[in-house]
Structure 1
Amino acid sequence: MRFATYEAGGERHAAVVSAAGLHALPGVTVLDLVRGGLPAAREIGAAALGGPAVPVGSVRLLPPLEPVAVRDFVAFEEHVEGVVRSVAGGAGVPPEWYEAPAFYFTNPYALVGAHDDVPVPPGSKLFDFELEVAVVVGRDGASLTPEQAREHIFGYAVMNDWSARDLQRREMRVQLGPAKGKDSATTLGPWLVTADELAPRADPDGHLPLEMRVSVNGTEIGRDLLSHMGWPFQDLIAYASRGTTVRAGDVLGSGTCGNGGCLAELWGRRGATEPPPLRPGDVVEMTVEGIGTIRNRVVEGLDLPPVRPARRR
């Protein structure tokens, strides 16, 4: 089953998705459904499928839910190998990457919908996309084992972790971040596909062999398989919960796939900014098999004054 959030006539609506379109779910949000558990959500969605449908193309798709927390992992080895060279000026995969699935917290207030315009962050000249899949936690849990965490998955969405690489490079030289290099926008959508819909595709370890593709202005830039993650999603949830708590509705990104899942990976491998950074007017389209397609246009951002430097001692 697929759940979406859309805006029409200035009002927000949760909906279940069918071939006919979006069937509104009065009185609830998708986050309510997630917190109520998958069996109840499926029951509510099934009841709404008999009602009228709104064509998907006639409304604005919003992010499927409003999470309190968004963690983004870096779970693809090939991506790390290319980006370390491009962003951090190093070479190879750090040995620490293999020890545990690293992540950072990103901005839950910067989520944008599947077809929203995305402004270039202020001051950035090296704007980039990142092709990912997000998992949504369906139940609260603490210090979960991977086996337990697998039962805590509610569903999946396509995720684009937009990145200002020049801002990111500066931040990470301070041994902190990324922060402003990452918090301007994150696309999440087009809807939330429930775990049971994709479960038959999973291998015994929980990896999902779903094809991931990204193009810019109609030209394919990258293609990979979600199953190339170094850890399956249940391991990411288990690690996020280690010594602490994850909550129903938390969003965890897979991290960027390899083989051209972002421009910075290719810049690192080629030693040049080719393909070029994103510019206003560029259209970035991402498709993940079994989940859906998001398509965003890059637009001019705010022209803000430079950041004031620190006062020296």
Structure 2
Amino acid sequence: MKLVTFETGGARHIGAVLPGDTTISDFTAASDTAHFRDMLALIDGGGPALDAARALEAKPASVVEMASVRLLAPVPEPRQMFDCLCFEKHLVQSARNGHLVRGGPPVIPVTDKIPDVYKELPVYYKCNRFSVIGTDQDVIRPRYTTKLDYEMEFGVFLGKSVKNATVEEAEKAIFGYCIFNDVSARDQQMSEMRGMLGPSKGKDFDTGNVMGPYLVTADAVDPSNLTMSVYINGERVSSGTSADMMWSFPQIIAHSTQDETRHAGEFFGSGTVGGGCGLETGRLLEDGDLLELEVTGLGRLRNRIVFQS
């Protein structure tokens, strides 16, 4: 299923996009069950909630036109967010092009060999879960940066709580997948990470975490070889593949659950695919740009870039 959160009649609803991608089976309007209050409630409902959702996808009781509603992020406020760094090509190319950014040296040394830690551990940081927006919403450049960048990623939401999970158990805990744009203030990021903490304001600002347009259930996605493409103002500027990930999502999740409970509704990002950011291609974001991120089977995430004065 391609699940969505949307606004209609001044209220938030959830539903599933129907074949043809022009209509939505409106779960919230069709049933007053608690499972369909919002996307986190659906995730928390587990198997019975998903079965009820699939029944309404197959036989909709209430249908709305996609063009008549406003799509939001599939999960507007995740319970927690983590972002990883799983693509070696991104690391190497970002270091090589660090001269494009003022404010400090590259995060890693300029070399074709990445630090060993990235292959020893699936490292991650925690994101600001309150700064999430969805497709067709503006990304507002923070005033303190002149080097705004996109990061082409995708990620997973957990469907149940797990602790000390095996890789196999972690895989079974994945609820679904969506596109993720980890927007970055590169000059701020490069400067502050010399302190060996963070990132902080290089990542943390309103509209900085972009997700959508859909949350596609795990049964409908093979994450092993997805094409990940970036378009700016209609022109494709890069294309990569999820096949290049150094760590799988089940491996990442299992690592993160060591003596720590991960909860349903938490999100893990893949890190940026090789070539998937302006730091690598030399094309940072400009005022008015229309940025589109597309991943096989997960849709196209579209946002306008706005520089505030």
TM-score normalised to the size of structure 2? 0.88
User: Which residue of structure 2 aligns with residue 50 of structure 1?
Assistant: 60
**Alpha-carbon deviation of 1:84?**
3.0
User: Which residue of structure 1 aligns with residue 3 of structure 2?
Assistant: 3
RMSD over equivalenced CA pairs, Å: 1.5
**Where does the alignment leave 5 or more consecutive residues of structure 2 unmatched?**
99-105
Task: Tell me the amino acid that sits aligned with residue 252 of structure 2.
Answer: L
Pair 1:64 & 2:74 matched? yes
- Counterpart-to-counterpart distance in 2, 1:153 and 1:69: 14
User: Which residue of structure 2 aligns with residue 197 of structure 1?
Assistant: 220
**Alpha-carbon deviation of 1:58?**
2.3
Q: Is the 8 A contact 1:214 1:284 kept in 2?
A: yes
**Matching of residues 120-135 of structure 1 within 5 Å:** 120-135=141-156
**Matching of residues 233-272 of structure 1 within 5 Å:** 233-258=249-274, 260-266=275-281
Q: Structure 1 38/264 Cα, relative in aligned 2: closer, same or farther at 3 Å?
A: farther
CA deviation map 1:158-217 (0-9, x unaligned): 11011110110111011111111112211111111000112xx3xxxxx52111100111
User: Which residue of structure 2 aligns with residue 216 of structure 1?
Assistant: 232
Alignment partner for residue 301 of structure 2, among 276, 294, 298?
Answer: 294
Task: Tell me the amino acid that sits aligned with residue 10 of structure 2.
Answer: G
- Counterpart-to-counterpart distance in 2, 1:279 and 1:81: 24
Q: Is the 8 A contact 1:25 1:45 kept in 2?
A: no
1:141 match: secondary structure: coil
Count of aligned pairs between the two proteins: 286
Q: Is the 8 A contact 1:2 1:194 kept in 2?
A: yes
**Where does the alignment leave 5 or more consecutive residues of structure 1 unmatched?**
202-206, 267-273, 304-313
Task: Tell me the amino acid that sits aligned with residue 17 of structure 1.
Answer: V
Task: Tell me the amino acid that sits aligned with residue 47 of structure 1.
Answer: L
CA deviation map 1:89-113 (0-9, x unaligned): 6223111111011110001110001
1:236 match: secondary structure: helix
Task: Tell me the amino acid that sits aligned with residue 223 of structure 1.
Answer: S
- Counterpart-to-counterpart distance in 2, 1:135 and 1:102: 16
User: Which residue of structure 2 aligns with residue 82 of structure 1?
Assistant: 93
**Matching of residues 162-181 of structure 1 within 5 Å:** 162-181=183-202
Pair 1:14 & 2:14 matched? yes
**Alpha-carbon deviation of 1:39?**
5.0
TM-score normalised to the size of structure 1? 0.87
User: Which residue of structure 2 aligns with residue 187 of structure 1?
Assistant: 210
- Counterpart-to-counterpart distance in 2, 1:22 and 1:45: 13
1:54 match: secondary structure: strand
**Matching of residues 83-102 of structure 1 within 5 Å:** 83-85=94-96, 86=98, 87-88=106-107, 90-92=109-111, 93-102=114-123
**Matching of residues 27-46 of structure 1 within 5 Å:** 27=32, 28-46=37-55
Pair 1:285 & 2:292 matched? yes
2:213 match: secondary structure: strand
- Counterpart-to-counterpart distance in 1, 2:212 and 2:10: 20
- Counterpart-to-counterpart distance in 2, 1:59 and 1:195: 25
2:276 match: secondary structure: coil
- Counterpart-to-counterpart distance in 2, 1:34 and 1:89: 38
Alignment partner for residue 150 of structure 1, among 162, 171, 182?
Answer: 171
Task: Tell me the amino acid that sits aligned with residue 37 of structure 1.
Answer: G
Pair 1:225 & 2:241 matched? yes
**Aligned sequence identity (%):** 37
Task: Tell me the amino acid that sits aligned with residue 306 of structure 2.
Answer: V
Pair 1:138 & 2:145 matched? no
Q: Is the 8 A contact 2:27 2:56 kept in 1?
A: no
Q: Is the 8 A contact 2:86 2:270 kept in 1?
A: yes
**Alpha-carbon deviation of 1:143?**
1.3
- Counterpart-to-counterpart distance in 2, 1:160 and 1:39: 31
CA deviation map 1:65-104 (0-9, x unaligned): 1211000001111111122342426223111111011110
**Alpha-carbon deviation of 1:152?**
0.4
- Counterpart-to-counterpart distance in 2, 1:122 and 1:245: 37
